[in-house]
Amino acid sequence: MSKPTTTIARHLAKLGRRTGVSLHPFNRLALPSTQTPQSRSRSLSTASPKERRPASEPRPTTIPTATFDQQHTTVSWPDGRESRFDNYFLFDHCRCSKCFQTQTKQRLKTLTELPTDIQPVSVETDTAGLHITWSTSPPHKSTYPSQFLKKAAYDPPLASYHEAEDSRILWNSKIVQSPPTVDHQDLVHSKAETSERGILKLLNRVHDFGFCFITDVPPTADDTKWLIERIAPIRQTHYGGFWSFTADLSHGDLAYSNEGLPAHTDTTYFTDPAGLQIFHLLSHPSPPGTGGTTLLVDAFYTASLLSTLYPNSYSLLSRLRVPAHASGTPGTILRPTISQPAFSHDEKGQLSLVRWNNEDRGVVGRGWTPEEVKGWYQASRRFEELNRSEDAEYWVQLSPGTVLVIDNWRVMHGRSAFTGSRTMCGAYVGADDWKSRRAVLTKKYEGRRKDPAAISGDVDWSVGW
Ligand SMILES: [Fe+2]
Ligand SMILES: [Zn+2]
C-alpha cells in the first residue's frame, strides 16, 4: 500500500514541539484521578444525637455550608468554591427510600409528583453532606453526600470532578515495541477471582489502548468461543454470533474476500456499532499462503492530530452526519436509524466513538451546504492521510494462538491482501456489555479508588452517571 506524501507527514515531525501534542506512544490523554479519598461519610439517620456537633463548636474545614432561597440551594465548599443547585433538581435526585428503590437502584417518583414550587424549609450540613427538610406535607427529608454534590454540580461545574478521569493512552506505530498483551491462563484460571482479575486486566488494557492481545490461546474455534463468552456476551448480528470463515464472500462483505482492507471500523451501519471486534487467526499455512498482515490504527490518536493540525476539519467530521449501509447480504439492508458523524463525543466533550468505513459509506451531502460538501471531502482526505501515514500504522502478523481484542469504537483495523487458505474466527461484543463487565469487575476488585462518588451506606450514589 503506497504511503501518502503530503505535507501532513512533514507536519508530524514538528507537531510535538509546536503544539504540545506528543507523538510518543504511551502519551496519556489524561492522568487517572489523583483525588485523595475523602473521609467516609455516614448518613444523618445513623448518627446518634451525642455524635452531632453542637452549633457553637468550630466547624472542621472539610464540612461545607449551605444556604437556600425559593429557587436554589447553594453549597459553599471549604476551599471557597460554591455550587448552586435548583431546588427541583435536588428533590428529583433524593435517594431516600420513598424516592429511590435501593435494591433495583431506580427512581420511584414521577416528575409530576414533584411540586414545582418545592423548596427547603431548612438545610443543614455535616460530614455526611447536605440535609434538606422540604416544604412538603408531611415534611420530606433528603440527604446528599458531599461527593455526590461535587460530582453533580453544574452551576458551575467543579473542574476536578468533570475532568476526564481517564487512563486512555494514545499510541502510534511505535507500539510495536510493546503492545498490550495478557496471557490466556490469567483469564481461564480455575480460581474465579484470578480469572476475573485477568479479565479486568484485559478490559483495562482494551480501554487504555483500544486493543489487547491474548496469547497462548488454544487455536480452535471452540476454545475461542468459550474464551469470548467468559469476557462478555457475544453480539448477534446478520453475520450470526460467533463466526469462523475462510475467504468465500459468503456474507457479501469484502471482509470475506482475500483483498486488502484499509484501516476502518466495523458496523458503521449499526445505530450502535459493535463494541469489541475479536479475531483469532486459526490457520494460514505460509508458504504457500502469503500476506494477510493485520493493520491497527489508533483513530483517537489520528483524530487528535487532525484536531491540532486542522481544527476546522475536525469540527466538520464531528458535525456532519454520514449515512452508512450494509446491503451486500441478501435479505439484509442495514443503515443506522439516525446517521452519525465520523467523530462522536460524550457529554464531557471527549471523543468517544469514531465511525470510519469508506467502503460502507452511503451518499453524503443531503442537507449540507455546497461548502460543507467540499469541506467534508477535504477533511476526510486529511483524516485518511493521517490514518495511512507510517507514523500511525501498526502492522502485525497474527498467528494461531494469539487472539486480538479491538475496541471498535476507537481502533481501526485492516489487513493486507493474502493468498492461500486463511481461517479466522471471532465475534462482536456490544460496547455497553464489555463496559458493564469492566465496571462490575472494577467495583469488585478496585473499589472506591476508581469511584469518587462511592459513598458508604445503603444507597449507591455511584450509579446513574
Ligand atoms: Fe472489519
Ligand atoms: Zn426522598
Q: Buried (b) or exposed (e) across 16-26, using 16+ Cβ within 10 A?
A: eeeeebebebe
Long-range contacts, stretch 222-225, CB < 8 angstroms, 24+ apart: 224/278, 224/280, 224/282, 224/403, 224/425, 224/426, 225/425, 225/427
Distance CA 339, CA 363 (A): 11
Please tell me the distance between residue 45's alpha carbon and the centre of ligand 2 in angstroms.
Answer: 13
Residue 2: predicted pLDDT = 44
Q: Extract the C-alpha cell encoding 260.
A: 486488502
The answer to whether the Cα torsion of 371, 373, 379, 382 is positive or negative is: negative
Please tell me the distance between residue 277's alpha carbon and the centre of ligand 2 in angstroms.
Answer: 43
Please tell me the distance between residue 123's alpha carbon and the centre of ligand 2 in angstroms.
Answer: 15
Please tell me the distance between residue 264's alpha carbon and the centre of ligand 1 in angstroms.
Answer: 6
| Domain residue ranges in the chain | 12-29+167-445, 58-162
Residue 450: predicted pLDDT = 52
Ligand in closest contact with the CA of 360: 1
Please tell me the distance between residue 434's alpha carbon and the centre of ligand 1 in angstroms.
Answer: 19
Ligand in closest contact with the CA of 138: 2
Distance CA 2, CA 360 (A): 22
Distance CA 261, CA 140 (A): 62
150's enclosing H/E stretch is: helix 146-152
Topology of domain 58-162, per CATH?
A: NE0471 N-terminal domain-like (3.30.2020)
Ligand in closest contact with the CA of 357: 1
Please tell me the distance between residue 316's alpha carbon and the centre of ligand 1 in angstroms.
Answer: 24
68 backbone φψ class: left, alpha, beta (φ>0; ψ -120 to 50): beta
Ligand in closest contact with the CA of 139: 2
Ligand in closest contact with the CA of 259: 1
Q: Buried (b) or exposed (e) across 392-401, using 16+ Cβ within 10 A?
A: bbbebebeeb
Ligand in closest contact with the CA of 143: 2
Residue 447: predicted pLDDT = 74
- Helix ranges (DSSP H) in 56-100: 87-92
Ligand in closest contact with the CA of 102: 2
What is the chain's pLDDT, residue by residue, as a tens digit (465 residues)?
444 445 555 665 555 443 333 443 333 333 222 222 232 222 222 223 333 344 455 555 679 999 999 999 999 999 999 999 999 999 999 999 999 998 899 999 999 989 999 999 999 999 889 999 999 999 999 999 998 999 899 999 987 665 556 789 999 999 999 999 999 999 999 999 999 999 999 999 999 999 999 999 999 999 999 999 999 999 999 889 999 988 666 677 777 788 999 999 999 999 999 999 999 999 988 787 888 999 999 999 999 999 999 999 999 999 999 999 999 888 999 999 999 999 999 988 899 999 999 999 999 999 999 999 999 999 999 999 999 999 999 999 999 999 999 999 999 999 999 988 889 999 999 999 999 999 999 989 987 555 545 555 567 788 888
Please tell me the distance between residue 267's alpha carbon and the centre of ligand 1 in angstroms.
Answer: 8
Please tell me the CATH code under which domain 12-29+167-445 is placed: 3.60.130.10
Please tell me the distance between residue 59's alpha carbon and the centre of ligand 2 in angstroms.
Answer: 27
Ligand in closest contact with the CA of 136: 2
Residue labelled with grid coordinates 458551575: 156
Please tell me the distance between residue 142's alpha carbon and the centre of ligand 2 in angstroms.
Answer: 5
